[in-house]
């Protein structure tokens, strides 16, 4: 399976996961730092949260991992949380910034 197809499918799934405090999906929010697809179709996602004290710090990464594992062309998935670099609002897509009134 083409890694780019898997990555694009993962991105579409990530766009269905929303931050509970901000009405924008986690991909457009800029919370996804990296998506790596292995030769065996395993997906490793490096993501952050809007803050270390985010109320969904436990549940959101697990939700992301489960949704990715639910993609038929993905063999396995692992989500790693990082706070380096710290998330800032300028990491959001232009679409998200417009939606939240930052532009």
| 97/19: higher pLDDT | 97
Q: What is the pTM of this model?
A: 0.92
Q: Could you tell me if residue 102 is inside a domain?
A: no
Q: Could you tell me if residue 50 is inside a domain?
A: yes
Q: Could you tell me if residue 18 is inside a domain?
A: yes
Residue 61: burial class (beta carbons within 10 Å; 0-12, 13-18, 19+): middle
Q: Could you tell me if residue 40 is inside a domain?
A: yes
Read off the pLDDT of residues 61-83 as tens digits, 9 standing for 90 and up.
Answer: 999 999 999 999 999 999 999 99
Confidence of residue 54 (pLDDT cuts 50, 70, 90): confident
Pairing mode, if any, of strands 42-47 and 76-81? parallel
- Check residue 11 and give its pLDDT: 98
User: Which whole number is the average pLDDT over 39-61?
Assistant: 91
Q: Could you tell me if residue 101 is inside a domain?
A: no
Per the structure, the count of domains in the chain is 1
- Check residue 22 and give its pLDDT: 83
- 3-class secondary structure, 76: strand
80, 76, 81: which is closest to 38 by C-alpha? 76
Tell me the CB-side half-sphere exposure of residue 18, using CA atoms within 13 A: 6
Mean pLDDT, rounded, of the chain: 93
69 vs 10: CA distance, rounded Å: 10
**Cβ–Cβ under 8 Å, residues 42 and 78:** yes
CATH of residue 76's domain is 3.30.300.130
pLDDT at residue 103 above 80? no
Q: Could you tell me if residue 99 is inside a domain?
A: no
- Check residue 101 and give its pLDDT: 87
Which domain does 38 fall in, by range?
Answer: 3-87
């Amino acid at each position: 399976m083409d890694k780019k197809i898997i990555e694009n499918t993962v991105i579409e799934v990530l766009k269905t996961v929303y931050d509970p405090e901000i009405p924008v999906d986690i991909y457009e929010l800029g919370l996804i730092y990296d998506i790596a697809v292995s030769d065996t179709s395993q997906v490793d996602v490096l993501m952050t949260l809007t803050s270390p004290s985010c109320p969904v710090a436990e549940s959101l990464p697990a939700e992301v991992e489960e949704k990715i594992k639910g993609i038929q062309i993905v063999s396995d998935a692992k989500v790693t949380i990082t706070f380096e670099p710290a998330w800032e609002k300028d990491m959001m897509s232009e679409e998200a910034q417009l939606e939240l009134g930052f532009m």
